Chains A and B, each alone.
Chain A
Amino acid sequence: MPALELNNLTKRYGAALALRDLSLRVEDGELVCLLGPSGCGKTTTLRVIAGFEPIETGAVRIGDQDVTRVPSQHRDIGVVFQSYALFPHLTVDENVGFGLKMRRKPRAEIEQAVREALRIVRLDDVGGRLPRQLSGGQQQRVALARAIAIRPRLLLLDEPLSNLDAKLRDEMREEIRRIQRTVGITTVFVTHDQLEALALADRMAVMDHGRIIQVGTPTEIYERPAHEFVASFIGQANLLRGRVLESDGNAVRFETAGGLEVVGEGGALARGSEVIGVIKSERIALTTSAGIDSTNSFATRVDSRTYLGAVLVLGCAVGGERITVVRPNDPGAAALQIGDPGFVRWRTGDCLVLPADRP
């Protein structure tokens, strides 16, 4: 039995559809990330699960209970808010113990649970302080402790790392993963940051326009995007539009709008149908000489160069297309300058051919 089940959720804001027939199953102990651009409905989905937003149709099940009509306070969920939403007038201990106090637990039990929760998030000696006396990272930990102190059936996190600076964000990301594993709690995590999702998720659901476009493990989503939207949203990919010339088993040969003849892998696609070739930028080689095999190998000239420290991003004009190549910063790549000639090349297996999305 899944720990959380969303069945055909539909939600409107006035005339706008916020969720369209959205379904998702989350297994017990799993961490699922909802990922998508802003306005895609990921936060709305989380708020529906939390019981903060009513839905028009569909059902939300937590464990074996249908909670669609159950108010938030009876759903037994822990929520970590983007702004943390710590009670500013209560101490850290009182914040963490709030949920248990509302459950009318005896004082000794509350104290014990608060200590335990603060130990799990590795916060000691701040119990008597007010939230405003804590750093951002500490507030984040208190918010987590407060959510898990009630031993909820489900943990929901709404962009919890977006208010932290970059270094702290990486640290807290690992912390959240560790805490989630320690407690073994089923978790839904909303983010717009694909790195966060790739690093944290057991499975991720990519959303757009109120729909889940694809669900899968980070590897599946990154390596085998099933739709153009996912391919363009995740990672840094080159998307080459074109029409199928021939399709033979898994291999697809197509001609791009810019006049390149490219071979990639895809399913059976009708000749002449519109397709999109997806090639991750870091899978493209940029060399000074043409290879022996002329398939997917094109003469080019570097026309832009961005230095990012660990990697270099090189823009290359190839026929009527522009190809972005990401190379590790080694002496060979670092020597490349704007105007240098060369060859771009990729393996057939690194070009995924998908039917084009309907506009």
Chain B
Amino acid sequence: MIGRLYLALIFLFVCGPAAMILFDSFNSATSFPSPFEHITLHWYLAILDHDEFLEAMRISAIVAAAAAAIATVLSVPAAYALTRRKLRGGHALATLLVGPLLVPQIVMGLAMLQLLSLAHIELGLGGLIAVHAVYVMPFTVRLALTGLAHFNFALIEAAKSLGAGRLRTVWHVTLPLIRTSVIAGFTFAFILSFVDLPLSLFLTTPRTATLPIQVFAYMESRLDPLVAAVGALVLAAAIGLTLTLERVFRLRIAG
């Protein structure tokens, strides 16, 4: 009984804020937050009139997909090397790869801004993608390491002895066996990047504003449930993406 109650409390704690957003997004009241008046889809339809939100969603999707892809492609070989070869200082290296988690995101964004201006590179999608890739790398590395933790390296030798070169071994043996963790890592990275605000704060221009930046900008001038509707959409998309992947690849991101 107490266990059930405890679970319910945890659930409320985790999902409560999200439920509030959902609640507000259907509220016809014009200010936010406010007591419920009546149910409406007005705010969802209103998004369609705000091109800047649609464009920001597109930018965020591009940045998140590119950052997650780069991080995944870099992480898998790194995790492989860390697992396979008992590298001297391998532990330190693994810690270093998780390093970006320890740097406040806003500092990381600022650092990237400085780096870009030092190199005389104009702000654009490039810098944004780069800093997002660095930020999500700890997650893709971690998941790749988990996937390789119980990998039987005799399989690599078996494939070699049967005539498979390096690339074909990776393609036919290694990747299929760690697929679950790689895809989970990618998904996780994508979602983290998609919803991140502080990293992008100094690196976006009006043309490359990501969705969180756009929401933030909107809220500085107006407070109506439109942003709640945007938030609810993002939440739905994230849940949808996770469920789809779980279905398609029969993978368990949670466990």
Tell me if B16 is interfacial: C-beta within 8 Å of chain A. Answer: no
Q: Which of A69-77, A164-172, A347-355 contacts B (4 or more CB under 8 A)?
A: A69-77
Bound form: Cα–Cα A72–B161 in Å: 5
In this complex, what residue of B is CB-closest to A101?
B172
**Are A85 and B177 within 8 A (Cβ)?**
no
**Are A88 and B161 within 8 A (Cβ)?**
no
**Are A85 and B163 within 8 A (Cβ)?**
no
Bound form: Cα–Cα A74–B161 in Å: 8
Quick one: given A73-B165, A102-B168, are A85 and B155 in contact (CB under 8 Å)?
yes
Could you mark each residue 46-82 of chain B with 1 if its beta carbon is under 8 Å from any beta carbon of chain A, else 0?
0000000000000000000000000000000000000
Tell me if A262 is interfacial: C-beta within 8 Å of chain B. Answer: no
In this complex, what residue of B is CB-closest to A71?
B160
**Are A85 and B157 within 8 A (Cβ)?**
yes
Bound form: Cα–Cα A51–B160 in Å: 9
Quick one: given A81-B154, A87-B155, are A50 and B163 in contact (CB under 8 Å)?
no
Tell me if B94 is interfacial: C-beta within 8 Å of chain A. Answer: no
Taking CB atoms, residues of chain B closer than 8 Å to A98 are: 159, 162, 164, 172
Taking CB atoms, residues of chain A closer than 8 Å to B155 are: 85, 87
Tell me if B152 is interfacial: C-beta within 8 Å of chain A. Answer: yes
Tell me if A211 is interfacial: C-beta within 8 Å of chain B. Answer: no
Tell me if B93 is interfacial: C-beta within 8 Å of chain A. Answer: no
B interface: dominant SS:
helix
Could you mark each residue 261-274 of chain A with 1 if its beta carbon is under 8 Å from any beta carbon of chain B, else 0?
00000000000000
In this complex, what residue of A is CB-closest to B153?
A85
**Are A72 and B157 within 8 A (Cβ)?**
yes
**Are A102 and B177 within 8 A (Cβ)?**
no
Bound form: Cα–Cα A83–B164 in Å: 19
Taking CB atoms, residues of chain A closer than 8 Å to B176 are: 89
**Are A72 and B160 within 8 A (Cβ)?**
yes
**Are A85 and B162 within 8 A (Cβ)?**
no
Tell me if B134 is interfacial: C-beta within 8 Å of chain A. Answer: no
Chain B, 127-164, CB within 8 A of any chain A CB:
152, 154-155, 157-164
In this complex, what residue of A is CB-closest to B163?
A102
**Are A73 and B154 within 8 A (Cβ)?**
no
Quick one: given A83-B152, A85-B152, A89-B177, are A73 and B157 in contact (CB under 8 Å)?
no
**Are A73 and B164 within 8 A (Cβ)?**
yes
Taking CB atoms, residues of chain B closer than 8 Å to A102 are: 159, 162-164, 168
**Are A99 and B163 within 8 A (Cβ)?**
yes
A interface: dominant SS:
loop
Number of interface residues, chain B, beta carbon within 8 A = 17
Tell me if B173 is interfacial: C-beta within 8 Å of chain A. Answer: yes
Tell me if A204 is interfacial: C-beta within 8 Å of chain B. Answer: no
**Are B163 and A73 within 8 A (Cβ)?**
yes
Taking CB atoms, residues of chain B closer than 8 Å to A52 are: 157, 160
How near does chain A come to B122, taking the closest CB pair, in angstroms? 46
**Are A73 and B173 within 8 A (Cβ)?**
no
Bound form: Cα–Cα A98–B172 in Å: 9
Chain B, 151-202, CB within 8 A of any chain A CB:
152, 154-155, 157-165, 168, 172-173, 176-177
How near does chain B come to A56, taking the closest CB pair, in angstroms? 20
**Are B160 and A78 within 8 A (Cβ)?**
no
Tell me if A146 is interfacial: C-beta within 8 Å of chain B. Answer: yes
**Are B157 and A99 within 8 A (Cβ)?**
no
How near does chain A come to B99, taking the closest CB pair, in angstroms? 31
Interface centre among A82, A89, A147, A150 (most CB of B within 10 A): A89
How near does chain B come to A156, taking the closest CB pair, in angstroms? 8
Bound form: Cα–Cα A72–B156 in Å: 11
Bound form: Cα–Cα A147–B163 in Å: 11
21 example contacts (A-B, Cβ-Cβ < 8 A) are as follows A50-B161, A52-B160, A71-B160, A73-B163, A73-B164, A73-B165, A79-B158, A79-B161, A81-B158, A82-B154, A83-B154, A85-B158, A86-B158, A87-B159, A88-B177, A89-B177, A98-B162, A99-B162, A102-B162, A102-B164, A147-B161
Known: A51-B161, A85-B158, A102-B164. 15 other contacts (CB 8 A): A73-B161, A73-B164, A79-B157, A82-B154, A83-B154, A85-B154, A87-B155, A89-B176, A98-B159, A98-B172, A99-B162, A99-B163, A102-B162, A146-B162, A150-B163
Closest 8 CB pairs of A and B: A99-B162, A102-B163, A85-B154, A85-B158, A79-B161, A72-B160, A102-B164, A73-B163
The residues of A with any CB-CB pair to B shorter than 8 Å are 50-52, 71-79, 81-83, 85-89, 98-99, 102-103, 146-147, 150
